[in-house]
Homo-oligomer: A and B are copies of this chain.
Amino acid sequence: MAVKGIQFWFEFASTYSYLSVMRIEHLARDAGVPVEWKPFLLGPIFRSQGWNTSPFNIYPLKGRYMWRDIERLCDNYGIPFKKPSHFPRNGLLAARVACMAASEGWCPEFTKAVFRANFAENREIADPKIITEILTSIGQEGSQVIARAESSENKEYLRKQTEEAVSLGIFGAPTFVVGTELFWGNDRLENAIDWYKKHIV
C-alpha cells in the first residue's frame, strides 16, 4: 500500500500530544508532508499494561518532572500553557467528535481548540457543555454534532481506531506512523517528517 503521508496518533488527555497538536500543521506544511489525524484512546492500552491512570500519576517523580518539562517546552515553542487542575481529563467525548471531524475535514481546528481548552484554559473537556461551546466557536452545530458523535456507528469507529493503534504497536501518545516506522513522542515529530522526506517521497 502506498504511503500517503504521516499518521498523527494523539490522545486528548496527553500533555505531549498538546505540543504536537500545536506544532504539526506548520511543520508538515513547510515540508510538504500530508498528515492524517488519528484520535484514539490510551486508556484501554494503559489498562492492558496494568495502569489505571496516567503513568505520570502512578510515578510522582516522573509526573513532577513532566509538568516542568511541558512548561519549559511551551515557553520555548511559544505555546500557551496553564497547568490543568485535574489530570488526566477524560477525552472520550472529544475523541468521538474528533473521529467524526476527521472524516468531515475539520479535525485539526476542533482538536486544537479542545487541547487549548484543557492545557491553556483549564476547562473540563469531559463536560459536554464545554465541547458544545467549542463546537459553536468553530462554526459547528454543537448539540447536533454531539448527537452524531454518540451514535453507535461513530462509537464503533473510535473503538476500531484504538484497536488499530494497538495492532500498530502504539503504546503512548503522540505517535507518528510513517509507513512501517513508529515515532513516539513530541520529540520525534521532526524525525518523522525527515523520515518521510528521505524514505517515502
Contacts and interface: CB of A to CB of B under 8 A. Distances in A.
Contact of A65 (B62, B68, B171): B171
Contacts of A181: 68, 72
Chain A binding surface SS class: helix
Given A49-B59, A59-B49, A191-B72, A64 B184 contact: no
A43 to B, nearest CB: 16
A169 interface: yes
A195 B191 CA distance: 23
The complex is assembled from copies of this chain, and their number is 2
A182 B71 CA distance: 13
Of the four ranges (under 10, 10 to 19, 20 to 34, 35 or more), the interface on chain A belongs to: 20 to 34
Contacts of A191: 72, 76
Contacts of A187: 185, 187
Q: Which 6 A-B pairs have the closest CB atoms?
A: A187-B187, A61-B171, A62-B171, A61-B169, A65-B184, A65-B182
Interface of A: 49, 59, 61-62, 64-65, 68-69, 72, 76, 169, 171-172, 181-185, 187-188, 191, 195
